[in-house]
Structure 1
């Protein structure tokens, strides 16, 4: 590893751990502080924290890799995500912030479900906590795979050593500093990612444009690389656009909305967040396209590079950002760009660990094992939970079985189908009841699992259409049918719903 690269990475690691220590002294006195930062996040931190925790390693590895291989025919996933994120800010964020406070100051998603529907049986809390633990453990493992892959490909370390190192740093600052540290590191990591996704494609373009054969290189790319309608398929396009539906059910994203200090801050947060996201996604897309041009033009001269095959082609398309960052920049800058990948990976892992920890602490330990547990005890259990979930995720990711984008897509669909329709309808439909909520959650989660893992005719159904699509549709139908077929919600539930809608009419969003 180059000395400059090592210096950049050490500075990055020390900064993240320093923020964790700051978070420890600033805001971990009780469970509300540790899990939700006392609902004191400003709009800038909210926006970049939500964005960074959303855009995991797939933003700098998976997405550029997809565009490197398939070109602009993959643009529909970016369109779907952008629309989904914007609608999430407009439709979900302000109502969820207001409603979670009205519903007995709920600090977790399972907490909100139980309080929103006055579920005395606690089954909503239990099932939603199980869904969070299952899918987030899988989601976290995808981030660790990305970390191990980065260290293996970029630094020449053993994959497993990189896996453990990634987990160790994330666990350290998450365990120490809680939600505030996670949100602040997300903010810093979001800034790093933003700069990196501008620098790499711009530098690649400048190098290529200095070559008189640039126009020839573009025309020699694989047919359809610059055509979003190349090999157009309606089902495939729907599957890519459907990624946007996942936003409404991602606990690690929407929990940021619960923590913002005021509903009126969402207008500024939305503008910051959407600007960040659009620029970052365009940068990721151009990294893949420009990377394909660069490898086509200069791949023959890179055959000694660890990333390249003997014929001058890229061995793993998901390493194109790494390749460009190391070839085009000084090692000190290259180290900063590699830190951007770590930032993307770690910001998501830390958010997932904290949400899973909150489910284990608030929704299992306190609710079912020790109902009178003090805040100090719950914070301690939360920290132990972070460590345990990380260990399980390391075990699951020890032998990677899929691409980074594939692993993320499965977990994204799981949450989108299980929680997305439930969140939307709980915020907008007064007639929804707990049985409808339970039915939607189960149908959504089980549909996704069935679509991914049950083979029919030798292939899983996800081969034909993204599992998010049937999951969301069936979950929505289940919520509506079961809510209408069972008893109406109580007067207390409808009164709180009316209070929420009344407050939303006064909000400036």
Structure 2
């Protein structure tokens, strides 16, 4: 059989497994809460890999190795920022959010948590948050579909539209059928595939070299890359602070902008919803170990792919660069040479897995924003469990169709909005999430002011340059000014307006106490702890 046939067989196997998980998850999804957050029964390993896979996307396998290959270790700062942000998110947000969302009227989405936590009877927080999610994630989903279509086109010599429809349809089907459980368990498979691919490719590539030590020296003394876009010898390849043709100030801006990606974690709805879905707050400890370890090893693998590629392609005449502009397919091109076509095909599907895991998570979050936060929260508060579950499934299809229509143009500039959307959520939601969990004085007015300010700054600072309206001021990533203005206005408006009621502050104390009693005790009975907290509260001990 030809190489392409093996690749297609590998993709069919992978897609069949994804559909199988979706069907299995359907049998486990009885209630609306099951469809949205898996009935709060997610194992920490599943939560960790699901959060990681839905977060990293194709950037981890293609974007990062390509950037490092071309410019060297000065591009590693974004990975550092993301790793630190991931650890802090699991450490600071996960345990308290799991506790507080259950205490605060069993909130199952970020917007509903904001409203319940701050008793926002005007529904301003829920509506604003729902609109932000709807707008940003619709384009975010579309960018994933564009990436899927391009992936199918470049990896299997297929038609862009055919690839978009196949990949989009399978993702929609397992999300539609199985809901949160399907998304989470497919994420585990997809995260495992990403991990294995990022470990196996550099290991086998290094073993194949005549002198494995060349990975540390070849690019320092020799030009490398494709003849159409040759990269000169880079003696500063391993220098973290060396940026070509930039001033010290410009280099500083680049470094802090890349590190600032880590700030985005606190506000990503498709990531923090995994925290809400864990079995108990104590699972956050194990989840942090699984999640951060997975991410660290994947990043190490991506770095070693970039380190190995210059010498590997120079030694292997049969290897060629599919992408000579950005070198983002080095990982895939190396796999084609190193492994049997079926194994190489499965490694190729790791990129597809990264794309689909992100798209499915985002589809579910958008559906929850429309159904839980707008329909059930404002229009029909007495809607039945069955109606809400079925409406969520309908919304998954509608959002997917809209995103697919936007993605019909393979040259769509929508891919550039991934960076913009990450900043939008981080700047709009991140500070409010953290303040909701740690600042008792926070009120609805302050949260709304900060959220709106963060979203607007991210849109103006980062969005308009995407459409060619203006240049990005100072070249600074919009996350930084967005988060800064959010925090400033949130604090000023909160302190300038009425303090929260005793009901709100008492619930805050109960949530903190609930977290204290459960985070350190993995065997704690949540119902018993809840009764104890209620008793202490009624006795005035909290």
Residue 487 (1) aligns with residue 488 (2): no
Query: Structure 2 matches for 1:344-363, cutoff 5 A?
Result: 344-363=354-373
* 2:338 is the alignment partner of 1:328: yes
| Residue aligning to 1:282 | 300
CA distance in structure 2 between the partners assigned to 1:115 and 1:46 by the alignment: 24
1:472 aligns with 2:486: no
Instruction: Tell whether 2:434 aligns with 1:433.
Output: no
**Does 1:385 find its partner at 2:425?**
no
Q: Which residue of 2 aligns with 1:104?
A: 105
CA distance in 2, matches of 1:265, 1:67: 35
Give the secondary structure class of the aligned counterpart of 2:442. coil
Query: What is the alpha-carbon root mean square deviation over aligned residues?
Result: 2.0
| Separation in 1, partners of 2:441, 2:469 | 42
Q: Distance in 1 between matches of 2:214 and 2:21?
A: 47
Cα-to-partner distance string for 1:99-151 (whole Å, 9 max, x where unaligned): 00010000111110110011111111111000111111122122212211211
Residues 438, 155 of structure 1: alpha-carbon distance in 2 compared, 3 angstrom cutoff: same
Structure 1 residue 181: Cα displacement? 0.9
1:195-241 deviations in whole A, cap 9, x for unaligned?
Answer: 00001111222223458976445522434222211126111100000
Per-residue deviation, residues 413-445 of structure 1 (Å, max 9, x unmatched)? 010000000000110000100001101110001
Q: Residue 341 in 1 paired to residue 351 in 2?
A: yes
1:504 aligns with 2:515: yes
Identify which of 234, 245, 256 aligns with 1:238: 256
Q: Which stretch of structure 1 is more off in the superposition, 124-133 or 370-379?
A: 370-379
Q: Give me the whole-angstrom Cα distance separating, in 2, the residues matched to 1:289 and 1:391.
A: 40
Aligned to 1:311: none
Alignment of 1:3-42 (within 5 A): 3-27=5-29, 29-42=30-43
Per the alignment, do residues 490 and 213 of structure 1 end up closer, same or farther by CA in structure 2, a change over 3 Å counting?
closer
- Give secondary structure in 2 for the equivalent of 1:460: coil
- Confirm or deny: 8 A CA contact 2:220 2:235 kept in the other structure: no
Contact 2:119 2:504 survives alignment (8 Å): yes
Structure 1: how far apart are the matches of 2:212 and 2:376?
A: 64
Structure 2, unmatched stretches of 5+, are: 223-232, 521-542
Runs of 4+ in 1 over 6 A off after TM superposition: 211-214
For residues 319 and 31 of structure 2, the distance between their equivalents in structure 1, rounded to whole angstroms, comes to 54
Q: 1:171 to 1:148 in 2, by over 3 A?
A: same
Of residues 454-463 and 284-293 in structure 1, the stretch that sits farther from structure 2 once superposed is 454-463
Distance of aligned partners of 1:254 and 1:474 in 2 relative to their CA distance in 1, 3 Å threshold:
same
Unpaired segments ≥5 residues, structure 1: 309-313
Answering whether residue 434 of structure 2 is matched by residue 424 of structure 1, we say yes
Distance between the aligned counterparts of 1:315 and 1:235, measured in 2? 25
Do 1:218 and 1:293's aligned partners in 2 also have CA atoms closer than 8 Å?
Answer: no
Contact 1:99 1:500 in 2 (8 A): yes
CA distance in 2, matches of 1:216, 1:427: 50
Range with greater deviation from structure 2 (232-241 or 206-215) = 206-215
Range moving further from structure 2, 457-466 or 268-277: 457-466
